Structure 1
Amino acid sequence: MTITAAADGSALGNPGPAGWAWYVNDDCWRAGGWPHGTNNQGELMAVLDLFRCTAHLPDEELHILCDSQYVINSVTKWMPGWKRKGWRKADGKPVLNVEILREIDQSLAGRKYRFEWVRGHAGHDLNEAADDRARAAATAYQQGVAVRSGPGFVRGDGAAVSRPRTGASGGTDRAAGGAPSAAALKAPGQQELLTPSGRSNQPDLFSEPDLFSELEADPFAAQAGPETAPEAIVEAQERELLRPDTRADIGRTGVLLHPEFTEIGTSGRLWTRDSMMMALEENPGGGAELDLIGADRVGAEAVLLTYRSKGRAGSSLRSSLWVLDGSQWRLRFHQGTPEA
């Protein structure tokens, strides 16, 4: 069987609010985006997500319709040479969008696929449908509203596979010109996660592509042992997240934050995991002290932590919900309120 899908990207301003989408039919498509990105990043992300969402069907060929010669050439012609040169071009400069390309390269292993170039905006039904959805995602980020992410990949039995997880560490080497950078994703002063007084001015809304799932196991959990109380584990991990060196380490924050992590910032905006991780890596801020208020079990696999954080900018009252994800305690939700 061959899966035929169109993949497309959009950026309003290029760079600007950006979206991506792939489309098989009206019951089988997916879209997402970023507050700031380029057309090429959107085109690449659409291809990456399509491979991820069909990873459970490795024996079926992917027939990818794409109107970007850049994407087709990158994947089918240039990547082997870039890899041999350490992801650098012939002139020695870093490859643009290297992080998404690395993820695509890993997703290609064992897959059967072929690309077909189609002319954009020329009335091709699948290409137009993908373009419409990618542009709608970019527009949603521009307007600060929720993105329609779509049903995901729907198998023949009607079951959806819409949020795949990768086994890759994904993006710990943030070479120049890679996926949307923290600087691109954050506005001046943005610093919500576990910092005393940040104000988020640039929303990162629903359905972000998850580039950092399934990272290595938590070394603290291995050291703690089965006798260590969950409350003690999550308190130690919360304290770790208050350290600038931890927030600057995108590999470590990828372990501590749940794949579905969200935060409601002091501005009232909803933030997702990926943009927060990249923003904190770029600007981890100063350290803060934690005065514990309570650590309460709210279920067999959930702990609610409440505390006061104190830093140079003042103090905040904070709450964090930690959940057990396999054998790893991960932060699922966080909210903070500056203290008067």
Structure 2
Amino acid sequence: MKIIAAADGSALGNPGPAGWGWYVDEQHWASGGWPHGTNNMGELMAVLDLLQQTAHLDATLHILCDSQYVINSVTKWMPGWKRNGWKKKDGKPVLNVDLMKAIDEAIAGRPVTFEWVKGHAGHHLNEKADALANAAATAYQAGRATNPGPGFAAPVTGAAPEVPAATAIMPAASATAPVVPPAAAPAPADADLFSLFDDLDSPATAPAAPAAPRPTGAEPRLITEPAASAIDTVIAGERALLTADVRSDPTRVAALLHTQFREIGRSGRLFTRDEILAHIAPLDPPVTLEVISAEQIDANTILLLWRSVGETPALRSSTWVRTTTGWAQRFHQATAEA
């Protein structure tokens, strides 16, 4: 079996709100993005997610890209970078090294070929992937979630998915489903999310008012500057969850929390993602983060231990996982410090 797919990326402002997408046919496509990223990051992430989602298939994968940077990185430059400790000939670190390493791991031993296609030239699959990437970037710019798409949840059967008959390009609106849940019941008095309610006489009972529009540079970053390490990215995300501008907007908090996020507060109570998003608000007094340790357990998991400063002392642990849209906090636990 042969799978032919197009992969593309987009960044509004480059860097700015960024998206990625890959497309095979109407039953097999995916998209995602970040509040802040570059076009090259989007191009690479599209290829990485395509490789990861087709890993279980016994198939040859032919990837169409309009990015010479991606094709040359994977097919020409990567072996030399690896031999040189992921540094270029001039000794400078390879940009987007985390994505490069993940692609190198995902492609090992697989029959994968690349083909350059000219962008915005009417190629059906490329136009579809471009539309998905642009829709994802636009969604993050507007503070909405992307539609992850069906992906390759089940093996493809039948004939190889060659270029399908032309259909209308998916509109941006298809990738803009809201992520904030409807208003929930009042939060219990012992709620936490970094000590949000532990020391208050009465709990918050409604979501905070939407924040005023902010410049792009103020957006929380799931992936920070292109050369940042995965650990740097996670620490930046953890810090963002403590800032007043992020906590004033549940959509921005949602972008940093995994869809299955859970938290155990200092009181020992378990909280769900929906409970947190319904009652998130700025911390009073403000809380800052003091890193104790950060360990990358595997390519897709980071454990962060830290101390919250500016409140009743507490030790905290956060587990972050790599998803198709970047790094997201999967679990958080707080313990009162002796």
Taking structure 2 as the reference length, what is the TM-score of the superposition? 0.57
Candidates 241, 244, 255, aligned match of 2:291: 244
2: CA distance between counterparts of 1:335 and 1:146? 26
Could you tell me how far 1:208 is from its partner in structure 2? Answer: 9.0
2: CA distance between counterparts of 1:176 and 1:15? 9
2:139 aligned partner: 140
2:20 aligned partner: 20
Could you tell me how far 1:244 is from its partner in structure 2? Answer: 2.6
Kindly indicate whether residue 84 of structure 2 is the aligned counterpart of residue 37 of structure 1: no
2:194 aligned partner: none
Distance 1:252 1:22, change over 3 A: closer
Where do 1:1-340 residues align within 5 Å? 1-57=1-57, 59-153=58-152, 154-156=154-156, 177-178=227-228, 182=232, 190-192=240-242, 200=246, 203=252, 205=254, 244-246=291-293, 248-251=294-297, 287-288=307-308, 311-313=309-311, 332=330
Taking structure 1 as the reference length, what is the TM-score of the superposition? 0.57
Could you tell me how far 1:62 is from its partner in structure 2? Answer: 0.4
Deviant stretches of 4+, over 6 Å: 207-210
Residue-by-residue CA offset, 1:195-223 (whole Å, 9 max, x unaligned): xx86626826459999xxxxxxxxxxxxx
Unaligned runs of 5+ in 2: 159-223, 269-288, 319-328
Distance 1:22 1:40, change over 3 A: same
Residue-by-residue CA offset, 1:223-259 (whole Å, 9 max, x unaligned): xxxxxxxx9xxx7xxxxxx97313x4444997577xx
Could you tell me how far 1:146 is from its partner in structure 2? Answer: 1.5
1:216 aligned partner: none
2:167 aligned partner: none
Distance 1:251 1:180, change over 3 A: closer
Residue-by-residue CA offset, 1:236-293 (whole Å, 9 max, x unaligned): xxxxxx97313x4444997577xxxxxxxxxxxxxxxxxxx7xx9xxx6xx24xxxxx
Aligned length: 228
Residue-by-residue CA offset, 1:31-74 (whole Å, 9 max, x unaligned): 111111000000000000100000001x3110100000000000
Unaligned runs of 5+ in 1: 159-173, 211-230, 236-241, 258-276, 289-310, 321-330
2: CA distance between counterparts of 1:126 and 1:177? 30
Could you tell me how far 1:312 is from its partner in structure 2? Answer: 2.0
Residue-by-residue CA offset, 1:136-172 (whole Å, 9 max, x unaligned): 11111110011111111142369xxxxxxxxxxxxxx
2: CA distance between counterparts of 1:252 and 1:112? 25
Alignment RMSD, CA only?
A: 4.2
Identity in percent: 54
Distance 1:143 1:32, change over 3 A: same
SS of residue paired to 2:86: coil
1: CA distance between counterparts of 2:297 and 2:234? 19
Distance 1:181 1:251, change over 3 A: closer
